[in-house]
Amino acid sequence: MKIALFSDIHANLPALNAMFADLEDRKVDAIYCLGDLVGYHVWPNEVIELIRAKRIPVISGNHDAKVEKIKARGEKEPSEKNYAYNLINDENASYLRDLPAHIRLEYRSITEQIDLLMVHGSPRRNDEYVLSDTPESEVLQMMQEAGASILCVAHSHKPYHRIIKLEDQHCVHIINTGSVGKPKDGNPQGGYIILELSSQTTLAKPESIKVEFIRFDYDLRTAIAAIEASPLPNEFADMLRDAY
């Protein structure tokens, strides 16, 4: 079973279109989005509507969750940064408000059940980071409390696959999807992952859980120009250009 996971589009429509084009020939069995469809860019409605049209399951990111609060304030003159959220129409704001906090999958291999949990930030909060260097004990506690053997996260915009060996010699996996529309790892290409599980998958063999990190080019020039032509801070364009 091949599962494509992506996140942190942040209203960057050219990047999202390029990701879907890249996915066309990869023959995945399912696609999931780990949140943060909006913020930082000028195409939030187009991004939301494209993902909805493809019927992709989505979880709520921290930026998705803040839309309702910002719109409820009814700012007569929205700040430069809030401009990106005030672009969102009422129907799409309602869609974001109703997104779930997590998605859980149970995959049965020949030997065992694999419990896969998808969150935006952490199992506890959508704005909490689970980083490649988060203390092992803290990560294990989160996963144990959440009942997850594979934890897929986003939020940091930095992709990684971390494997932690347990006392019983089984392993748990923490996987970060990176970012489609706003990478922060110094590489301006968009990114997503494909997770592959099979009938032979077992937590006793970490190599049986395969993760492919995919990077793709997109029309970065158009994405940058759209920010610079909008009321958004020009720093947001610099963030795309330099991937920070």
- Domain membership of residue 198 as a residue range: 2-242
> Closest Cα to residue 157, out of 125, 134, 189?
189
pLDDT along the chain (244 residues), means of 10: 99 99 97 99 99 99 95 75 94 98 98 98 98 98 98 99 96 99 99 98 98 99 98 98 98
pLDDT of residue 228: 98
Per-residue pLDDT reduced to its tens digit, 31-64? 999 999 999 999 999 999 999 999 999 999 999 9
List C-alpha distances in Å: 179 to 100, 122, 199, 201, 243.
20, 16, 29, 27, 10
CA distance 106 to 147: 11
Secondary element (H or E) of residue 85 = helix 83-86
pLDDT of residue 77: 62
CATH number at residue 97: 3.60.21.10
What does the DSSP assignment read for 151-177? Answer: EEE-SSS--EEEEEE-TTS-EEEEEE-
pLDDT of residue 78: 67
CA distance 55 to 212: 23
Give 50's contacts (C-beta < 8 A, 6+ positions apart): 13, 16, 17, 20
Number of structural domains (the chain) is 1
Place of tokens 């023959």: 27
